[in-house]
Amino acid sequence: MEKQEQLYEGKAKKVFRTSDPEVYWVSYKDDATAFNGEKKGTIVGKGELNNRISAIFFSLLKERGVDNHFVKLLSATEQLVRRVEIIPLEVVIRNIAAGSLAKRLGLEEGTVLPQPVVEFYYKDDALGDPLINDSHIQVLGIADDSTVQTMERIGLRVNEILQAFLRERKVILVDFKLEFGRAADGSVLLADEISPDTCRFWDEETREKLDKDRFRRDLGDVEQAYQEMLRRIGGDFDV
């Protein structure tokens, strides 16, 4: 498999075509952004850590029956994925109130939610990725009802799998964001990344943050936190 022309460069990753039209080559970057791009920085080693962490989570999900775009790890910072057309919705699943939910509903950060909360955000930089509901999604023609239901069902299953896996490793899965794409056969496929950039992870004992909130809130030791997450999930070895 060889890397061909670059198709896209996002905030955290570059995507390239390959000799197989159904397979893309993803290269993870060290660049970090927050607050819709207002805060920018570099986290040394982040590309490698997120590439490895995401590969472990996607492999685990595949093993547990949640099909996804991950094909294989290529190098420390690169992986192959199946081509999908990204549906412009971010699906956020929450177990504990934090971030925008704590603010919006006036809940204290750390409040345990009696059941998982599912939210949809419209991926649109100009609008600042607004929270939207089912009828907004229908009115804008972003996805049909059954696609939205499929994303919600898979999201809740991913939550169960990751929560159980992380609990054994003394990590609390506070919340996370998923993205889905449409595969060549029309099916809805889990895609993008699952990493400390897209999840909130708290140490079970100390409640220390092991995720991008260390960057967002200038808490320091960002790289160390990502490294610790990789170690907890068993990926601190060479590929």
Report residue 17 as tokens.
Answer: 């075509």
- Residue 49 CB: number of other CB atoms within 10 A? 27
Query: 10 vs 24, 32, 85, 100, 121, CA distance in Å?
Result: 14, 11, 15, 23, 18
**Across the strands, what pairs with 16?**
6, 25
**Which one, 48 or 213, has the nearer CB to ligand UDP?**
213
Report which residue's Cβ sits closest to ligand UDP.
Answer: 99
Query: Does 129 sit near ligand UDP (CB under 6 A)?
Result: yes
Question: Does 92 contact ligand UDP by CB under 6 A?
Answer: yes
Alpha carbon separation from 158 to 51, 93, 152, 178, 234 (Å, rounded): 19, 9, 10, 9, 19
Q: Under the criterion CB under 6 A, does residue 88 sit at the interface with ligand UDP?
A: no
Taking residues 131 to 170 in sequence order and writing x for each that binds ligand UDP by CB under 6 A, - otherwise, the string is ----------------------------------------
Q: What amino acid occupies position 172?
A: I
- List the one residue from 177, 209, 214, 232 that touches ligand UDP (CB under 6 A): 177
209 near ligand UDP (CB under 6 A): no
Q: At closest approach, how far in Å is the CB of 200 from ligand UDP? A: 4
- Indicate whether 199 belongs to the interface with ligand UDP (CB under 6 A): yes
Please name the residue that has the structure tokens 């198709």.
Answer: 7
Interface ranges with ligand UDP (CB under 6 A): 90, 92, 98-101, 129, 175-177, 198-200, 212
